[in-house]
Amino acid sequence: MIRQKDFLKRTLEDLGKVLAAALGFRKKGRNDQALQVLTEGCERLVGLPRNVLDALDVASVSRMLNDALRIRLLARLLAAESELDPSLKERAIALFEEAASREPLPDEDAEILRQLR
């Protein structure tokens, strides 16, 4: 149980670092670098190449990830990226909804989903 909590803590810290770095680049108008940070973070945190995830529909991605945490991580990353590419907003919403169908969303994720809608 302790290892699982440590893993979750490290994962969320890594997510925070990725999102903070992307936001920093965005604020400086360096959107290409923000996208690169999000793409690399996606591959590191979710464990699959972004081009593979982008080629699949939400149901297939969810089956491949097979874990509500990984689905939520991807949804958060896409939510952040949707500020640069609004076409990703619906995909982020669908991923949050899929994660919620597996287990209740933490308050922070529920708030992100509410804002996306």
Q: Is the pLDDT of residue 1 over 60?
A: no
Place of tokens 């994720």: 109
Banded pLDDT at 4 (limits 50, 70, 90): low
Which residue, 12, 9, 40, 13, is CA-closest to 25? 40
Q: How is the chain split into domains, by residue range?
A: 2-116
pLDDT digits (tens, 9 = 90+) for 34-91: 999 999 999 999 988 889 999 999 999 999 999 999 999 999 999 999 999 999 999 9
Compute the mean pLDDT over every residue in the chain, rounded to the nearest whole number: 92
Model pLDDT, residue 112: 96
Which residue, 78, 21, 55, 88, is CA-closest to 70? 78
- Integer CA distances (angstroms), 19 to 2, 7, 39, 49, 81, in order: 26, 18, 11, 18, 9
pTM of the full structure: 0.88
